[in-house]
Structure 1
């Protein structure tokens, strides 16, 4: 049976455009081991781990006439060095140079004629560190069957052993007649395929008509605009903030709620201060805060109005805790680890961009050191995609005692996103002192 894309994956692929490419990413910083860690070692590591994620050597083949959803097929021209690339910063490279590179790389759509991922080893960082930037299409990473490749590169020990890489030979790529015959067979054996194909087609139409509807709405002035709700261009900015998980846990212990509530309160406080610095009106911001559930590897959408008009940081936190209370889910850490690509699941939840102004995706990570090829990861930042008419996306993760915020912004609309990133630290400090 052909490995056919789901209706959602097919819709995500079809809705990819130059202004809002549908890929998620991460940027991880590593401390080089004494034995060294360079491009050749990264390529070797990637080659050994590729058998764990078969779709990373496959590309998408469309069915003639779009009579069925596309299928995954082996790429006969797969070349790992096309996907794993190297870059360097002028030494000693700092945050500004690294995150400017992240923004430029993430602004470029992936080549849909090849496997839908890229990785970049960035050398030249201060203190001899290196960075690994990954970008993966949302149609590839569903967090269940296929996880973010960065995860399978990481080990709990600096001396993790690999089995010898099995020889890989691509299967013959099916021709148009075979793709058509498989589509007919799928429909006969599984009548539900008709529904799924129709759903994918409808999703494509909705995406296209949605753009027209938004344009008409804007023309007549119905949609409320603001610095976060603008037509997104192609250029990006990326900024980060760092915190200690112990500080967020201390705030939770003092005022109740969950660590995720504290994260949302920190974001709300930062947005309030940032809007005030711009002289903008202070009003609630409707945010999508995806919530993981433990009974299945999935993420549930939850929309919350962040109370930016509330000047007291503790009252903001309590209002958020109350609003999030009915969506509490106790998700064991082991379950979260199995839900590989949880940031991608959150991004998929936010892909429509409807009914909210901002997406804040918070994924708890492991609290012990991780390694890639013997190099210890010191910090990691999520890089979330923008959707149409939303100029900011916030990804948050925790790792080894730290909390890492990644802010992806439209370059024209949020040229001062670095100011917003600084306000995140101030907002947390307010809560810690309260």
Structure 2
């Protein structure tokens, strides 16, 4: 059973010793930090006075965004998401909607809200910079898929898989929406039709929560019943308490993450190929999951994480692969306040959650998972990671930051992102959106990305896997569904 490390006396002593060591090194570290800070400020002034800034528009990429530009050809930092809509597409109408609601949207001062959606990433004086596209055209970013139309769900998955790891033109703003004009429907005899579009946004533009906010408040049709997205305050603590804990435990957490051994399993370790396959589950009733969590005296996330651990365990045993004690998942934690603003940004920290894969009994696995989840809820780790990223990326050169974050990223088997979506059906151009699924990007040699998104009373799991790690990820979402059904049966929970 996991123990909350903050309550461990040994953890306190270790953290204090590391903090003391850091304080003793400050006479050496502070001048180095100051040198790099001055160096970066000089570069900033040179960039803002450059011809590009004078004749057009140039902005420095914020430190919290710039880290995502340290991606690789094998693991591009692109968030992929699919929306399925009823009816037939009208590309010109969609392009105009996005121009009106997004590209030309302005604040009360008459300034563009999302100028970065018309800007490309470039390097100037070793800094990442936003520069206006030479000739922005919405048609370069919103266009129709020209390949053969899918006949089956498997065909749709193949198309999304192929598009998911494709590079975005570096001479354009790093986002695109690709419309698949027709996809197979569950009941073709009723005369209905559906289409889909794949949204692809580079992570340096924004994180998942920011993009969900953008989608709900700016892209889809307005609905009088829409409510503001609100967040539960991270850790349930005030800002002063969070910062105090981060200051005390931060140096130790950073050292621990650097020295932590990397996961060793069949799903982690091989060099990634860069070619990806995607899969997703069928819709799972959110009401059923809530009944399970009530019966088990747990949370929805506890249940979902335990079932995910069970699905990965079953995948390994079904394929006669060794089962490790656990698999480490790197999880983004949103650090915004209770009410989100409209900015496109990255504002999250990271925690590492061990998913128990060596526990066969579902209820014991849930108990273990809940203990781990409770421990990380009070951990300062998310805030520590965000502060570390912003501090290091605003001062030190890529030659130092890239290997540091590569080493930290390589510890985990997967990136796991859980995003709450709206619980009513959205519409775009008057057409109902029936399905929303997304896939998070990975870093370094991590070859597995898993998402869980709730929308309109349903939950779906999305999975993207490098072909070198999992050739066919399709069965894993099905195993996830089975784990939920098994847990419901064990708890004598029935869906209405």
TM-score, normalised on structure 1?
A: 0.74
Q: Could you say what secondary structure the match of 1:231 adopts?
A: coil
> C-alpha displacement at 1:145, in angstroms?
7.9
Q: What's 1:227 paired with?
A: 267
Deviations 1:351-374 (A, max 9, x none): 852432122111111101111111
Change (3 A) 1:139 1:266: same
Task: Describe how 1:10-409 pairs up with structure 2 within 5 A.
Answer: 10-13=66-69, 15-32=70-87, 37-49=89-101, 50-52=103-105, 53-63=114-124, 65-66=125-126, 69-87=127-145, 93-126=151-184, 127-142=192-207, 150-151=215-216, 152-157=218-223, 224-242=264-282, 243-283=284-324, 284-293=326-335, 295=337, 298-328=347-377, 353-409=409-465
Contact kept, 8 Å, 2:65 with 2:206, in 1: the verdict is no
Q: Could you say what secondary structure the match of 1:93 adopts?
A: coil
- Name the CA distance, whole Å, in 2 between partners of 1:237 and 1:394: 12
- Name the CA distance, whole Å, in 1 between partners of 2:175 and 2:364: 43
> C-alpha displacement at 1:288, in angstroms?
2.0
> C-alpha displacement at 1:146, in angstroms?
7.5
Q: Could you say what secondary structure the match of 1:309 adopts?
A: coil
Change (3 A) 1:315 1:421: same
Contact kept, 8 Å, 2:266 with 2:469, in 1: the verdict is no
- Name the CA distance, whole Å, in 2 between partners of 1:147 and 1:245: 19
Contact kept, 8 Å, 1:231 with 1:388, in 2: the verdict is no
- Name the CA distance, whole Å, in 2 between partners of 1:432 and 1:385: 31
Q: What's 1:176 paired with?
A: none
Change (3 A) 1:273 1:282: same
> C-alpha displacement at 1:93, in angstroms?
3.2
> C-alpha displacement at 1:320, in angstroms?
0.7
> C-alpha displacement at 1:430, in angstroms?
1.0
- Name the CA distance, whole Å, in 2 between partners of 1:145 and 1:279: 40
> C-alpha displacement at 1:90, in angstroms?
5.1
Change (3 A) 1:146 1:429: closer
- Name the CA distance, whole Å, in 2 between partners of 1:323 and 1:294: 23
Contact kept, 8 Å, 1:153 with 1:372, in 2: the verdict is yes
Q: Could you say what secondary structure the match of 2:421 adopts?
A: coil
> C-alpha displacement at 1:61, in angstroms?
3.6
Q: What's 2:54 paired with?
A: none
CA RMSD after TM alignment: 2.8
TM-score, normalised on structure 2?
A: 0.65
The structure with the larger Rg is 2
Residue range with higher mean Cα deviation, 86-95 or 41-50: 86-95
